[in-house]
Amino acid sequence: MAKRKTEEYTFADAYIGSYTRNLMSWQDMMRLASCKDLDAAEAVLQEFGYGEAKELHEGDVEAFIRREQNKHFNLIYDTLPDRKELALCLFPYDYHNVKVCLKSEFLGITPDDTYLVSTGDIDWMKVVAMVRDRNYMFMPVNMKHAIIEATDLFSRGGDPQEIDIILDKACYKDMLKAAEETGEDFLIGIVKLQIDILNLKTFVRLRQIEKPWSFFQKVFLEGGNISEQFFIASYEEPFAQIADKLAVYGLKEAMAEGGKEIKETGDFNLFEKLCDNQMMEYNKKAKYETFGIVPIAGYWYAKELEIDNLRIILTGILIGSSAEQISERLREPYV
């Protein structure tokens, strides 16, 4: 895919950039978290362009989240000169749908939109048909091979975890390939960081449940900046020692503070939160780009995280959590 000229993004940059002003800051999210109920939350959300939220009147937070995800998807991909340039952001949704289809098939049930998502690069109904009929003609090559491999392994072992492992590897392989085809260092870097963070989270969790490093080798995602050998060599080391070695990758704080919390309490929340905050710290580089695909990608990730934070906040309000309890789970916003 040839890299587009900067001026080809002039309209998209200006149009999507105007929405950046509506992103919520930390203070804004805390004001939302302090609302006494979902009706009060809706009034705050309207200040940030969310409009009327009938779903919240019925207490259906997930329906509201799905609608906002679809709106976000349509805003970006209806405005871009060519949606392929950010298709890498949609691959996880496509692969999620494939997982749902395969697991439904093995359980003998028909997949529906209860678990399937409509914000992928491939229409979810087409995914259902392609997986059902094993029609790979319009399917990415890595996805095709992953389905064949996952189906074969499941038929021999019956372990649904194999489906997730194989499809996740294919997904991030496709994402990195798509990022590299754009020629944008920002997009390549953010995918590599995603891979590193997923590997690190997996590494820490497997260590805590005392899985052998051979299992980590099985689930390790290739393509990141942190090598497989780094993790294997660190498998028996204290978290503090690993943290020092992760400084060059920007993940020292997450490992040091999060690792300490895990060791003392067994709670992974702080560790995962700090990892995700590092993702957003990288994404903030997009603020300093005015033209091209980078500021649009920055807004994509920023809004995606904001919607995830809204799920946490609104669910917290619904179940009666305090603002302080909610804040412990929130990720650092873009603004």
SS3 75: helix
pLDDT at 2 (0 to 100): 54
Question: Does residue 256 form part of some domain?
Answer: no
* pLDDT at site 1: 55
Alpha-carbon distance of 333 to 149, in angstroms, equals 38
Q: Is residue 50 part of a domain?
A: yes
The pLDDT, as a whole number, for residue 155 is: 86
Cβ atoms within 10 Å, residue 90:
21
57 occurs within a structural domain:
yes
pLDDT at site 228: 95
32 falls within a domain = no
Instruction: Quote the pLDDT of residue 37.
Output: 95
For 1-26, how does the pLDDT look when each residue is reduced to its tens digit (9 = 90+)?
Answer: 556 677 788 999 999 999 999 999 99
- The answer to whether the CB of 77 falls within 8 A of the CB of 93 is no
Rounded to the nearest 5 degrees, what angle is found at the Cα of 139, between the Cα atoms of 110 and 301? 90
- List the one residue out of 156, 114, 151, 117 whose CA is nearest residue 131: 151
Q: What is the pLDDT of residue 297?
A: 96
**319 domain-assigned:** yes
The reported pLDDT for the residue numbered 307 is 97
Please provide the distance, in angstroms rounded to a whole number, between the alpha carbons at the two ends of the chain: 32
Contact 121, 87 (CB under 8 A): yes
Q: Tell me, yes or no, whether 124 lies in a domain.
A: no
Instruction: Answer yes or no: is 168 within a domain.
Output: no
Report the pLDDT value the prediction gives residue 84, as an integer from 0 to 100. 82
Q: What pLDDT, in 10s, does the model give residues 130-142?
A: 999 999 888 999 9
Range of the domain at 61: 1-18+40-86+293-335
| 54 in any annotated domain | yes
**The pLDDT of residue 82:** 79
pLDDT of residue 222: 96
Please list the ranges in the chain whose pLDDT falls under 70: 1-4
> Assign residue 156 a region: left if phi > 0, alpha if psi is -120 to 50, beta otherwise?
alpha
Q: What is the pLDDT of residue 3?
A: 63
Give, in degrees to the nearest 5, the angle at Cα 276 between 234 and 303.
Answer: 155
Total of domains in the chain = 1
Distance CA 334, CA 21 (A): 11
